[in-house]
Structure 1
Amino acid sequence: MTDTVDPAAIRTAERVPHGGETDTDILDFSANTNPRIPDGVEGVYADALEDARRYPDDDYPDFRAAAAGFVGCEPDDVVPTPGGLAAIRLAIEITLEPGDEALVPYPSFGEYAREVRLQGAQPRFIRYDDLFALEREGLESAALAVVCTPNNPTGEAADPDELAAFAARCERAGTTLLVDEAFLGFTDLPSAATLARDRDLENVIVARSLTKLFGLPGLRAGFAVATGERRDALETARRAWSLGTPAARVGAHCLRQDEFVRETRERVASERERLREALGERFDVYSSDAPYLLCDVGDRDVADVIASARDRGVAIRDATTFRGLESHVRVAVKDRAANDELLAALGVQGNRDR
């Protein structure tokens, strides 16, 4: 077991492109973050900033309790991390050794393959919608399998029963299953942490990000969830003081805002359907359970579509950077006023009265 990246892999690794617009004058639809934040965040942050003059409590009892309540697990099963990607790296670090194989979905989040390679391991790419069809013999060569739910960029969430059955097959094959739930909080589907607990599976590691659902990507707060030996390995390998005091306090506060989460889910579902219908007048739009929509622009030039939107003050995501996609863009689902600006920037009239 390794707890660091493979030095040889670093020399050949590359950065992965992401969404996110640094120009504050541009309306950013390239990153899938909530445009709203829970009430009270500013006060919690201000109080925590004063306490940041000393080291945080490395046990993070309040953060662990809030995270456990949110996903349905025991507080001791929560491992705090500075963002969801840090949880993904930690899970991959404690699972893979140089030469190992990992099953990586595509098109999906590019960091999975990068993190696998940084451990000196090899990704075996499987279409995201074919992954659950693998039986035990297709899993036994892999030390790790990755599931993203809802998948990024397609937006499709995994069926809980199919996910649980796949997790059980992975366990029988001796394969660790990493489930990235960065956007699952936008749905009312159960966490894989709950599914694993109910079925007594100890091969599942869940990675969670707070910053998408609660609109605070710069805060860098997340966590992993696991049980048994994998939980112990994650806890041992995580860095001391893995969350700053403001991130831990604000994170715990956000995770307890049930009404905010409910309202966010309702708004995103309603606006996503409105956008899907409107964008469907011009593009082939994928069905989605997430706060984003993947659009096939067809014969249009993707760069031209992106540039035209930007000229009108809106940034959208070039989805051709995802493996297997050649004519696609991804757009976030924001609030109604912002979404109307997106439609206008893409030359879509849409239904403004719905």
Structure 2
Amino acid sequence: MIVHPESIRTGDRVPHGGETDRDVLDFSANTNPYTPDGVEAVYERALEASRRYPDDDYHDFRTAAAAFVGCEPERVIPTPGGLAAIRLAMECSLEPDDEALIPYPSFGEYAREVRLQGASPRFVPHDELLAVDDGLLEDCQFAVVCTPNNPTGEATDPDALAAFAARCGEAETTLLVDEAFLGFTDLPSAARLEAEHVIVARSLTKLFGLPGLRAGFAVATGERRDALETARRAWSLGTPAARVGAHCLRQDAFVRETRERVERERERMHEALKRRFDVVPSDAPYLLCDVGDRSVDDVIASARENGVAIRDARTFRGIDSHVRVAVKDRERNDGLLAALGVLEADEGYGTDGGDDIDEGTRSE
């Protein structure tokens, strides 16, 4: 449903984190190092069921997703990952020559997906987006809010987001709220707004440690919901993704324990990393670090020599001296801190006080 063939010929791929060398600790991608108990058994049963096409209604998945974000099941649109939800929203909302308000620095795929529709991104600093003047808002047919923002990590205040959504409605601007990392917080989903011009995109794979499974969903209402449902690809989730996704979305204890661990470890890592870097406060499972006068290339190379991959944040628009590091569990985080030379000797490496492994299945 990409509407502008020329945009495909002139477009580029967007760099992402992710490390394929399994001997290297991967702190370049912001995924949970654990998965919920029972995932393997659910996947095994689903694999056998995959001899037939999935049930395209995805009733169980929709029900679990709706309970997770607090909406009615019929408002849930299953997609193969959060990025697929973003593309679907833009396919159904943008026309060639439209303009879209895009925050920066933020997820690079927003601008790419806008351009693939033949539309143009209008870049706004991420911390100024909600305060843009009415004239600019009225000029744009689409706007994106990422909460927590990637790579800076701060979550948007729900009341401020609701106020901005109301302004978007008055301007007849479609608002896409990307909540890929919101599950790591206890903040409410924008799905609660139930406004026809608001679309929510969610990713399961980061919170539940299964990025290769490709499961996510969009939430919409009214005619916008109907348009997304009509436009989504048939069998948009494979049977394993749908069944494992539904299982994960019901693991309340796992989600609660993950949030507590990430908050605890993020604070500890922030204190350690600020000995060497300027660290941006974060509500997300990652920290953005300004390396200052040091060479970003040297910091990345030095970490890798010590067995750790970190994200070159210069790939984000408007950033030229930063790296981004994920927040994992205590043992892995100590490996990162040691590789970056900020772990004090008396803090120990993998010492007592680490996270319990029984919170879920360790993802190796």
Letter in 2 for 1:56: P
Q: Aligned to 1:146, what secondary structure does the other structure show?
A: strand
CA distance in 2, matches of 1:103, 1:24: 38
* 1:268 aligned partner: 262
Letter in 2 for 1:107: P
Letter in 2 for 1:20: G
User: Which of 163, 181, 184 does residue 183 from structure 1 map onto?
Assistant: 181
* 1:75 aligned partner: 73
CA distance in 2, matches of 1:228, 1:265: 33
* 2:320 aligned partner: 326
Task: Check if 1:238 corresponds to 2:232.
Answer: yes
Cα deviation for residue 137 of structure 1 reads: 2.0
Cα deviation for residue 337 of structure 1 reads: 0.3
CA distance in 1, matches of 2:248, 2:87: 24
Cα deviation for residue 4 of structure 1 reads: 2.4
CA distance in 1, matches of 2:223, 2:155: 28
* 2:39 aligned partner: 41
Q: 5+ residue gaps in structure 1? A: none
Q: 5+ residue gaps in structure 2? A: 354-364
User: Which of 210, 223, 243 does residue 204 from structure 2 map onto?
Assistant: 210
Q: Aligned to 2:217, what secondary structure does the other structure show?
A: strand
User: Which of 152, 161, 164 does residue 154 from structure 1 map onto?
Assistant: 152
Task: Check if 1:220 corresponds to 2:253.
Answer: no
Per-residue Cα deviation, 1:11-31 (whole angstroms, up to 9, x for no partner): 100000000000111100000
* 2:17 aligned partner: 19
Per-residue Cα deviation, 1:107-135 (whole angstroms, up to 9, x for no partner): 00000000000000000000000001123
User: Which of 117, 120, 123 does residue 119 from structure 1 map onto?
Assistant: 117
CA distance in 2, matches of 1:76, 1:4: 26
Letter in 1 for 2:161: L
Cα deviation for residue 202 of structure 1 reads: 1.3
Aligned pairs (5 A) from 1:29-108: 29-108=27-106
User: Are the counterparts in 2 of residues 102 and 124 from structure 1 also a CA contact under 8 Å?
Assistant: yes
Letter in 2 for 1:156: E
With normalisation by structure 2, the TM-score equals 0.95
Cα deviation for residue 5 of structure 1 reads: 4.0
Letter in 2 for 1:100: D
User: Are the counterparts in 2 of residues 136 and 172 from structure 1 also a CA contact under 8 Å?
Assistant: no
User: Are the counterparts in 1 of residues 76 and 220 from structure 2 also a CA contact under 8 Å?
Assistant: yes
CA distance in 1, matches of 2:319, 2:124: 14
User: Are the counterparts in 2 of residues 80 and 242 from structure 1 also a CA contact under 8 Å?
Assistant: yes
With normalisation by structure 1, the TM-score equals 0.97
Letter in 2 for 1:118: L
User: Are the counterparts in 2 of residues 309 and 346 from structure 1 also a CA contact under 8 Å?
Assistant: yes
Q: Aligned to 2:176, what secondary structure does the other structure show?
A: strand
User: Are the counterparts in 1 of residues 3 and 96 from structure 2 also a CA contact under 8 Å?
Assistant: no
CA distance in 1, matches of 2:280, 2:339: 20
CA distance in 2, matches of 1:83, 1:268: 22
CA distance in 2, matches of 1:102, 1:119: 11
Q: Aligned to 1:95, what secondary structure does the other structure show?
A: coil
User: Are the counterparts in 2 of residues 20 and 28 from structure 1 also a CA contact under 8 Å?
Assistant: yes
Letter in 2 for 1:17: P
CA distance in 1, matches of 2:215, 2:12: 24
User: Are the counterparts in 2 of residues 13 and 118 from structure 1 also a CA contact under 8 Å?
Assistant: yes
Task: Check if 1:253 corresponds to 2:247.
Answer: yes
Identity percentage over the alignment?
78
Q: How many residues align?
A: 348
CA distance in 2, matches of 1:182, 1:344: 29
Q: Aligned to 2:155, what secondary structure does the other structure show?
A: coil
* 1:134 aligned partner: 132
CA distance in 1, matches of 2:69, 2:87: 20
Q: Aligned to 1:46, what secondary structure does the other structure show?
A: helix
CA distance in 2, matches of 1:4, 1:282: 45
Q: Aligned to 2:92, what secondary structure does the other structure show?
A: helix
RMSD of aligned Cα (Å)? 0.9
CA distance in 2, matches of 1:4, 1:20: 27
